[in-house]
Amino acid sequence: MKKTQILIVGAGPAGLCAAIEAARAGAKAFIIDENSKPGGQLFKQIHKFFGSYEHRAGVRGYAIGTDLLRETEELGVEVILNAPVYGLFRHDGGMMVSYMKDGREKAILAEKIILATGAAENALAFPGGTLPGVMGAGCAQTMINVNRVLPGGKIIMIGSGNVGLIVAYQLLQAGAEVSALIEAAPFIGGYGVHASKIRRAGTPIFVSHTIERALGKTRVDAVEIVRLDESFQPVPGARRVIEADTVCLAVGLSPLTELAWMAGCDFTWIPQLGGHIPIHNENMETTIPGLYAAGDITGSEEASTAMEEGRLAGIAAAEALGLTAERAKDIKLEVWARMNALRTGPFGQKRFEAKAQLLESAKGAAR
């Protein structure tokens, strides 16, 4: 059976950064991803990043992705693509991962494993919600920015978190008409800068509104929306129909934690981070020794924090193998300082608190 020191599941920003740090420390690192291309969500992201210089502020997501790929190549990290990982077991004192490649089952033994599987988009149920034209915002983002195809001409975006705001703006940039952005809460969920860009482009944002149904026989022709009162109940008579051929859903992300469940990790429930999260300590190590988690799997944030968490897991796993002992301490301190800086401001503070709660639960978890 194939063997490696550090195995990483997921080649998104978290997984790539984990591999880079592990390989720099001298470990043999190996990445498996089910996609045909590495980079995870990064290649869909064409806006400039926020934060400081170290966080590549002002640089666009896909450019960061290209840099990370080059670095993993230079460091000799092996990347296996088109290979979904479906199993994670204890085996012979180490851990074994099983995956599919070219229609065959394969397995690899690893001393340390880092789960960087990211998150999936949440669905929303409403009459007409299965009509062609209703799709995830991420699906639309992939279509316009990666495949360069418009999913429709007149679009309604549901959800005003950062994914909803950013994808709505990118649809406008790609030449679509975004007829409205709808948010059930009485306030906009994401950053104000993104929201004002959309408003300036002429797209109305309806807060305290939800989608009642999508209308159409074989595809979406229109959408009925309704105003909500303070207790999120529809206000009678406050309905309106908007013409649209596409409905994009940006109603949150849920961490892809199947492999962590399978391995027997302890979990905690933190709604602000997307639900059930595998408990981890300051080294990103879960309650299973030698099994680490980084990026959106530990709660959806953004690419910059995913990269930092990946670095942390990579260096900690290398350190646990007895490599890079002196450097590890400094690098970990630097990463935590940068990560705490990212988790400031009105939005960051909430995430900081949620993450602190997660770290706190690690102390209580039985090992």
Partner 1 sequence: MRVVKHPILPDDAAPDCIIYHDGQPVPAKSGEPIAAALLAAGVRVFRETAKKRNPRGIYCGIGRCTDCVMVVDGEPNVRTCVTPVRQGMEVRTQKGLGEWKNS
138 sits near partner 1 (criterion: CB under 8 A) = yes
Q: Which two tokens stand for residue 181?
A: 């952005």
Among partner 1, ligand FAD, none, what does residue 15 contact (CB within 5–8 Å per kind)?
ligand FAD
The residue among 161 and 290 lying less far from partner 1, judged by its C-beta, is 161
User: By three-state DSSP, how is residue 109 classified?
Assistant: strand
138 sits near ligand FAD (criterion: CB under 6 A) = yes
> CA–CA separation, 92 vs 90, rounded Å?
7
Instruction: Please work out the total of residues on this chain that contact ligand FAD, with binding judged by CB under 6 A.
Output: 35
**Among 65, 118, 189, 314, contact with ligand FAD (rule: CB under 6 A):** 118
117 sits near ligand FAD (criterion: CB under 6 A) = yes
34 sits near ligand FAD (criterion: CB under 6 A) = yes
Query: Could you tell me which stretch among 106-114, 126-134, 202-210, 356-364 binds partner 1 (CB under 8 A)?
Result: 126-134
84 sits near ligand FAD (criterion: CB under 6 A) = yes
Query: Could you tell me which stretch among 171-179, 207-215, 316-324, 358-366 binds partner 1 (CB under 8 A)?
Result: 171-179
**Among 144, 155, 214, 307, contact with partner 1 (rule: CB under 8 A):** 144
CB contact burial 70-103 (16+ within 10 A = b; e otherwise) = ebbeeeebebbeebebeebeeeeeebbbebeeee
314 DSSP β-pair partners: none
130 sits near partner 1 (criterion: CB under 8 A) = yes
For residue 36, give Cα distances in angstroms to 33, 67, 243, 294, 295.
8, 18, 36, 21, 20
> CA–CA separation, 121 vs 135, rounded Å?
10
For residue 175, give Cα distances in angstroms to 7, 154, 171, 195.
41, 10, 6, 18
**Among 36, 53, 76, 193, contact with partner 1 (rule: CB under 8 A):** 36
Stated length of the chain: 367
By C-alpha distance, which of 286, 328, 334, 277 is closest to 308?
A: 334
60 sits near partner 1 (criterion: CB under 8 A) = yes
Q: What is the DSSP letter of 187?
A: S
Give, in degrees to the nearest 5, the angle at Cα 290 between 363 and 297.
Answer: 70
310 sits near partner 1 (criterion: CB under 8 A) = no
Query: Could you tell me which stretch among 51-59, 140-148, 193-201, 327-335 binds partner 1 (CB under 8 A)?
Result: 140-148
User: By three-state DSSP, how is residue 237 classified?
Assistant: strand
Residues that bind ligand FAD (CB under 6 A): 9-15, 32-35, 40-42, 45, 84-85, 116-119, 121, 137-138, 141, 163, 166, 253, 256, 295-296, 300, 302-303, 306
Residues that bind partner 1 (CB under 8 A): 34, 36, 46, 60, 120-121, 130-136, 138-140, 142-145, 147-151, 153, 173-175, 218-219
